[in-house]
Amino acid sequence: MTFATLGLIDPLLRSLETLGYQTPTPVQAQAIPAVLAGRDLMAAAQTGTGKTAGFALPLLQLLAMEGPKVTANSVRALILVPTRELAEQVHEAVRQYAENLPLSTYAVYGGVSINPQMMKLRKGVDLLVATPGRLLDLFRQNALKFNQLQTLVLDEADRMLDLGFSEELGNIYRVLPKKRQTLLFSATFSDAIRLLAGQMLNDPLSIEVSPRNVAANTVKQWVVVVDKKRKPELFIHLLRKGKWKQVLVFAKTRNGVDALVEKLQGLGINADGIHGDKPQATRQRALDRFKASEVQILVATDVAARGLDIEDLPLVVNFDLPIVAEDYIHRIGRTGRAGATGEAISLVCADEVNLLSAIETLTRQTLTRQMEQDFEPEHRVPDTDASGQVVKKPKKPKKPKTSGSGKRNLGKWVESGDASAPEPSIKPVRKVPVFNTGPRKRKP
């Protein structure tokens, strides 16, 4: 199968040839004809399998061949994404695909000045990539109209539809045309989200090119158990032992990112970090330097779990496990992309055993555990398996306390005897003092 057999027009085929695309991936082979046919779509596929091209290529073709010219402050197609980084990446891919088409594209997101975005939208944009918050800001300032909207795409739909975005999405849906094509693309879909998405789409076609919620088989995964306080020390040990060249590290909190970066830099290790508190320009600069191998270690919160496409990234380290199990799949999906192989190592402490269990249940696999010499945890990490069970060792029965005099402790009372003798089957009877009730003798 080729892209030509999928019905794509020559300008798009020329762009794909320039980019070196030769054979459609499974999700592209199924999605492209469906989108061209005007179907609503719900597509699930692992990260790194070409989902962006699966919706962007047919969408650009529909815009080029159908519909009126875009008017001022209007958009004809809208792609919603959860993060600024993903907005940039998706727009860059769209821009490359549309190189030979007479279409305008643009990306808007928060963290930067809104004024240049308002100026750009004055002439109208055929295809807009946006984060929900900034899209609503532009709409409320009358910088954006949706009367010409033909197609809505939700990329990373599972994150877009979760509670964190539900209010913003509800506000967006209320101002969009009822008659439109809607496409949902993601690596993971929970049952609750599938139900919700089914209510939004019109007779949707469902595509699943791989088992639901399964990490890419090109990624070798394992766990190293360690005490929480020794995680930084263990990470540095593994870094030096493995002679790691380029590593993407995920930490749970913004403070955690900053603390690890500061520690690494203090040891002369070339490291940088990105999280939601940093300005967009700073985040983009750190990412660009990491892609160019100018930075050895990039530490990030889950803001980088989706949308970062780093060519030939060999290793991902989960310094902390994610709170949401699905994010684990997206994190490790930054390596092992486009058929390449990769590794994913998770540093797990006792406090994270329930998070580990949730990940193993979601991915339906029990992750291999290792212990690093001299880093064996004092606080045991209970065994887990893909069934969602946390295996707790039975408590040992308490032994009776013994004293060196051969006396056994029986509560508050001590009875003499052989310390090695078996415990009595009944509790000892406390001796009650006997009082003399006869006539009291007087002292002479």
Domains of the chain by residue range: 4-208, 219-390
Phi-psi region of 335 (alpha: psi -120 to 50; beta: other; left: phi over 0): beta
**pLDDT of 162 over the 80 cut:** no
Lowest mean pLDDT among 314-323, 337-346, 383-392: 383-392
274 strand-pairing partners: 300
* pLDDT in the model for residue 282: 85
- Higher pLDDT: 214 or 91? It is 91
Q: Is the pTM of this model over 0.75?
A: no
Lowest mean pLDDT among 92-106, 133-147, 321-335, 426-440: 426-440
**pLDDT of 439 over the 70 cut:** no
Q: Per-residue pLDDT averaged across 383-410, rounded?
A: 56
- Higher pLDDT: 233 or 441? It is 233
Q: Give residue for tokens 């969408």.
A: 59
What are phi and psi for residue 152, nearest 5 degrees? Answer: -115, 130
* pLDDT in the model for residue 428: 47
**pLDDT of 443 over the 60 cut:** no
**pLDDT of 31 over the 60 cut:** yes
H helix or E strand, kind and range, residue 167: helix 163-175
CATH topology for the 219-390 domain = Rossmann fold (3.40.50)
DSSP 240: H
CATH topology for the 4-208 domain = Rossmann fold (3.40.50)
- Higher pLDDT: 244 or 393? It is 244
Q: Per-residue pLDDT averaged across 265-282, rounded?
A: 87
Opening angle at CA 329, ends 184 and 151, nearest 5 = 10
* pLDDT in the model for residue 406: 46
Lowest mean pLDDT among 146-155, 180-189, 206-215, 235-244: 206-215
Burial 353-363 (b: 16+ CB within 10 A, else e): bebbbbbbbbb
Q: Say how many C-beta atoms besides its own lie within 10 A of residue 309's C-beta.
A: 18
* pLDDT in the model for residue 434: 44
Q: Per-residue pLDDT averaged across 386-395, rounded?
A: 60
Q: What is the mean pLDDT of the chain?
A: 82
* pLDDT in the model for residue 263: 95
Residue percentage of the chain with pLDDT more than 70: 79
Tell me if 4-208 shares its fold with 219-390.
yes
* pLDDT in the model for residue 425: 45
